[in-house]
């Protein structure tokens, strides 16, 4: 099954199906019931329900034929001023059908809009407030200009917690006839990091290979090393077994096809589990940040990781 079809299949269709954002859902539900919704801004990390809730709002407002009154645009693809002046303005200036007082325009990843496009959007929101409502979705609300933020009711989404992810895994496994051992379930939660979309993508990738899913399959499909393996690398470095740590690091990166950025993020998590005092953990986290910065600036990844391992080995002497 295509991933887009899988995602649509398990996308919530009503408010009560949206997981992890109960406070936001209740407030938005009240707006929809009144048929008098302000402009909305949904801010938060990826895969936590921003687009899903927007589609549910459209369904609940307009019914199953919501597409006639609902325009969805991805601002990262169409981010210039022309798209606001053409598509958005043309849609906003016409009245809704079916007796609803307004249409809805959903701008996904609106923090990717250029400054000029945001200024044009501000004027459009002012001029067509009688016929149209906007829902802006973004990862970073600080990238949206203040005049737009002040026109919106801002809702901040949070990553899904363990219990909510377990519910989603159990529901999909039951419908798809999948069997997951406890290690696989924990691995899915670890790899997804509260991102429901990544969780579904991982689960579908694993299901395409085997109906019985285990921990090894999840980590290999997710291109993520097992936390235990990452911790062993750091423990070897702490014991000043630098050559062994370096060899284990290289083997792990090759086995899981990891980039330097991928492994360094796992290092940062596992440093907290090392048997060293808090001050030394602080120093190592600082070194992780420095190594990541150098990688993003174009430095050799493996060289920076070797330097980091060397710093882990020297930290006992500091």
pLDDT band for 248, please (50, 70, 90 cuts): very high
pLDDT band for 2, please (50, 70, 90 cuts): low
pLDDT band for 81, please (50, 70, 90 cuts): low
Length of the chain: 318
Q: For residues 230 and 252, is the Cβ–Cβ distance under 8 A?
A: yes
Q: Do the domains at 3-156 and 227-317 have one common CATH topology?
A: no
List Cα–Cα distances, 71 to 145, 154, 264, in angstroms: 22, 20, 40
The 3-state DSSP composition of the chain as helix, strand, coil percent (nearest 5) reads 65, 10, 25
Q: For residues 47 and 19, is the Cβ–Cβ distance under 8 A?
A: no
Q: For residues 207 and 176, is the Cβ–Cβ distance under 8 A?
A: yes
pLDDT band for 233, please (50, 70, 90 cuts): very high
CB proximity list for 303: less than 8 A, separation 6 or greater: none
- Rounded to 10 deg, the angle between the 260-270 and 301-314 helix axes is 20
- Fold topology of 3-156: Rossmann fold (3.40.50)
Q: For residues 229 and 235, is the Cβ–Cβ distance under 8 A?
A: no
The helix (run of H) or strand (run of E) holding residue 93 is: none
Is the pLDDT assigned to residue 187 strictly greater than 90?
A: no
pLDDT tens figures, 191-230: 888 888 888 888 888 888 888 888 888 888 877 888 889 9
d(CA 276, CA 234): 11
Class of domain 227-317: mainly alpha
pLDDT band for 180, please (50, 70, 90 cuts): confident
Task: Write down the pLDDT at residue 82.
Answer: 66
Exposed e or buried b per residue across 51-85, where buried means at least 16 C-beta atoms within 10 angstroms of its C-beta = bbbbbbbbbbbbeeebeebbbbbebeebbebebbe
Q: For residues 145 and 110, is the Cβ–Cβ distance under 8 A?
A: no
The helix (run of H) or strand (run of E) holding residue 15 is: none
Higher pLDDT, 193 or 284: 284
pLDDT band for 95, please (50, 70, 90 cuts): confident
- Fold topology of 162-221: Helicase, Ruva Protein; domain 3 (1.10.8)
- Is this structure's pTM higher than 0.95? no
In the chain, the percentage of residues whose pLDDT exceeds 70 is: 92
Lowest-confidence range among 88-92, 111-115, 191-195, 299-303?
A: 88-92
Average pLDDT in the chain: 85
Domain boundaries of the chain, sorted by first residue: 3-156, 162-221, 227-317
């Amino acid at each position: 099954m295509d991933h887009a079809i899988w995602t649509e299949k398990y996308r919530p269709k009503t408010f009560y199906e949206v997981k992890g954002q109960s406070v936001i859902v209740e407030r938005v539900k009240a707006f929809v019931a009144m048929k008098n919704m302000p402009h909305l801004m949904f801010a938060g990390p990826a895969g936590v329900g921003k687009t899903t809730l927007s589609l549910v709002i459209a369904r609940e407002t307009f019914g199953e034929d919501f597409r006639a009154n609902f325009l969805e645009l991805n601002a990262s693809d169409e981010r210039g001023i022309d798209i606001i002046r053409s598509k958005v303005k043309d849609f906003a200036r016409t009245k809704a059908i079916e007796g609803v007082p307004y249409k809805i325009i959903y701008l996904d990843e609106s923090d990717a809009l250029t400054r000029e496009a945001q200024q044009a959007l501000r004027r459009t929101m002012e001029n067509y407030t009688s016929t149209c409502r906007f829902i802006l979705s973004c990862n970073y609300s600080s990238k949206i200009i203040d005049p737009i933020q002040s026109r919106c009711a801002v809702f901040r989404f949070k990553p899904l917690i363990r219990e909510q992810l377990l519910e989603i895994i159990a529901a999909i496994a039951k419908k798809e006839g999948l069997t997951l051992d406890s290690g696989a379930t924990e691995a899915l939660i670890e790899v997804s990091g509260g991102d429901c979309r990544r969780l579904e993508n991982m689960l579908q990738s694993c299901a395409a290979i085997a109906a019985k899913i285990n921990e090894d399959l999840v980590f290999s499909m997710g291109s993520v090393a097992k936390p235990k393996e990452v911790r062993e690398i750091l423990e070897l470095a702490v014991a000043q077994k630098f050559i062994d740590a370096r060899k284990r690091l290289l083997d792990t990166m090759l086995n899981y096809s990891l980039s330097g950025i991928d492994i360094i993020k796992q290092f940062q998590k596992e440093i907290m589990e090392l048997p060293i005092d808090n001050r030394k953990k602080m120093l190592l986290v600082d070194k992780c940040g420095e190594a990541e910065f150098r990688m993003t600036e174009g430095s050799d990844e493996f060289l920076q990781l070797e330097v980091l391992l060397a710093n882990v080995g020297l930290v006992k002497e500091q």
